[in-house]
């Protein structure tokens, strides 16, 4: 590959293992830079040996066998270990968001020094507090590529503010204070002007960039993938006439939980299973925890999700804002039809009435209509289930890796042409 060298960096994980694996298999990965990684001799490795339960399982996922260990560099490991601990306490939400911002900023500050020293052809970073440190690379020939895992912060702010105006729910701002933080919004906006190219997983994220003045020529659309072996298809046998709906993710306003809970509480013959962390003091929990057809299950580890999916009929994503919710693809891989909003990102793969339905996030009547449709047409779910699985096969991680490698090489080639 003409000695092309790429550094992939992420202070957490998300889908960065897949991106780094793609670079490794293409023969262009110089380093994968992260924080928490189960590498021999690392703090993570030591903690994982004494950890128990869900924490041990979570730490075990911070390792990727397809990335050469000598190419993995760790920065700020102990700070992010603390972050993983704090994330388990919803009551500390606002403090945790600010702590995350501080830790990410420190990570990227050290990263830029490392990148300048190694001088790769390109660096892949993720949207967040990386932005304000990008100016360190201004006088280099390094191509700066930002992988946008979610819509721009300012765009999210506008959506949430509109939701407050429509519903009068002031708790939305309290739960998601960081989207009103002017420093974070300014950092996000200024940083995007320093980036050469953007990788986006969905048209929704693309729209958030275009609406903020980013040129379409700088945007590469690369949808995420799913592990089609881990999330396997199983034909479901119906035992009763109850429609079982599953949601996976944090219980929050940004995720649209308030609208989902309200609608489901009004429908008979439906059960909702919520697999994700929640704040017991939030009205999202206190107002609905006593309702018989709504089940707050708490955090569920990934190794248990497949079995949970196979016990349900449809998967729902009521999000007000996402990037491309990978849990949606995972659910479809197990054969669950998807009911999602136009803001979920995964709506890009939905064919209405074939493998699911897409609805407007702020229209409770549309959500209710689709749930009742599934309830009244349960005989059609089996065929939609097969279509959902077939859809997921077009979005495997192998396909993602080929697409992201192609997109990144295009970025480097285009930048060279512009410079010549």
Looking up residue 359, the CATH number of its domain turns out to be: 3.40.50.2000
Whether the CB-CB separation of 265 and 293 falls below 8 Å is answered with yes
User: Does 235 reside within a domain?
Assistant: no
The H or E element that residue 338 is part of is strand 338-341
Same domain, 285 and 332: yes
Same domain, 317 and 360: yes
Same domain, 46 and 18: yes
Same domain, 277 and 346: yes
User: Does 22 reside within a domain?
Assistant: yes
The reported pLDDT for the residue numbered 231 is: 93
User: Does 259 reside within a domain?
Assistant: yes
Whether the CB-CB separation of 137 and 118 falls below 8 Å is answered with no
Same domain, 52 and 195: yes
Same domain, 47 and 73: yes
User: Does 231 reside within a domain?
Assistant: no
Domain containing 256 equals 243-393
Same domain, 184 and 304: no
Q: Which two tokens stand for residue 299?
A: 């955090």
pLDDT averages per 10-residue partition of the chain, 420 residues: 88 92 97 91 83 76 91 87 66 64 84 95 81 82 94 95 96 92 83 90 96 94 95 86 96 97 97 95 94 94 89 97 95 98 97 98 98 97 97 96 97 84
The reported pLDDT for the residue numbered 88 is: 63
How many alpha carbons fall within 13 Å on the CB side of residue 187?
19
Same domain, 46 and 191: yes
Whether the CB-CB separation of 267 and 372 falls below 8 Å is answered with yes
The reported pLDDT for the residue numbered 304 is: 87
Same domain, 203 and 281: no
SS3 content of the chain, % helix, strand, coil (to 5): 50, 15, 35
User: Does 165 reside within a domain?
Assistant: yes
Count of domains for the chain: 2
The reported pLDDT for the residue numbered 189 is: 81
- φ/ψ (deg, to 5) at 207: -60, -35
Q: Which two tokens stand for residue 278?
A: 């929640």
Same domain, 215 and 278: no
Q: Which residues contact residue 142 at a Cβ distance below 8 angstroms, ignoring those fewer than 6 apart?
A: 115, 119, 120, 121, 122, 123
User: Does 348 reside within a domain?
Assistant: yes
The H or E element that residue 307 is part of is helix 302-309
Same domain, 151 and 264: no
Same domain, 159 and 293: no
User: Does 144 reside within a domain?
Assistant: yes
The reported pLDDT for the residue numbered 87 is: 64
């Amino acid at each position: 590959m003409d000695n092309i060298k790429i550094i992939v960096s992420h202070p957490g994980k998300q889908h960065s293992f897949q991106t780094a694996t793609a670079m490794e298999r293409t023969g262009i990965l110089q380093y994968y830079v992260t924080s928490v990684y189960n590498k021999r001799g690392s703090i993570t490795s030591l903690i994982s040996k004494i950890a128990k339960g869900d924490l041990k399982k979570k730490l075990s996922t911070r390792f990727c066998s397809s990335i050469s260990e000598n190419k993995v560099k760790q920065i700020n490991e102990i700070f992010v270990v603390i972050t993983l601990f704090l994330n388990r306490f919803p009551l500390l939400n606002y403090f945790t968001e600010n702590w995350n911002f501080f830790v990410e900023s420190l990570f990227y500050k050290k990263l830029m020094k490392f990148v300048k020293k190694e001088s790769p052809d390109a660096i892949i970073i993720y949207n967040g507090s990386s932005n304000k440190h990008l100016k360190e690379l201004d006088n280099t020939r390094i191509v700066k590529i930002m992988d946008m895992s979610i819509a721009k912060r300012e765009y999210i702010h506008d959506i949430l503010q509109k939701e407050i105006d429509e519903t009068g729910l002031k708790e939305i701002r309290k739960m998601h204070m960081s989207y009103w933080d002017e420093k974070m919004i300014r950092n996000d906006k200024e940083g995007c002007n320093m980036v050469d190219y953007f990788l986006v997983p969905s048209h929704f994220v693309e729209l958030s960039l275009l609406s903020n003045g980013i040129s379409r020529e700088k945007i590469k659309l690369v949808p995420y993938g799913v592990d089609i072996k881990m999330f396997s298809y199983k034909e479901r046998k119906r035992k009763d006439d109850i429609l079982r709906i599953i949601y996976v993710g944090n219980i929050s306003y940004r995720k649209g939980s308030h609208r989902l809970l309200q609608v489901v509480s009004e429908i008979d013959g439906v059960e909702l299973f919520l697999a994700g962390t929640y704040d017991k003091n939030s009205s999202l929990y206190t107002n609905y925890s006593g309702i018989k057809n709504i089940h707050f299950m708490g955090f569920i580890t990934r190794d248990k999700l497949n079995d949970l999916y196979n016990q349900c009929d449809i998967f729902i994503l009521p999000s007000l804002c996402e990037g491309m919710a990978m849990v949606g693809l995972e659910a479809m891989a197990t054969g669950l039809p998807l009911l999602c909003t136009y803001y979920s990102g995964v709506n890009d793969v939905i064919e209405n009435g074939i493998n699911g339905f897409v609805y407007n996030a702020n229209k409770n009547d549309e959500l209710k209509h689709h749930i009742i449709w599934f309830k009244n047409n349960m005989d059609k779910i089996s065929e939609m289930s097969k279509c959902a699985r077939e859809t997921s096969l077009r979005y495997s991680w192998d396909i993602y890796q080929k697409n992201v490698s192609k997109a990144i090489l295009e970025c480097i080639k285009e930048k060279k042409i512009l410079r010549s």
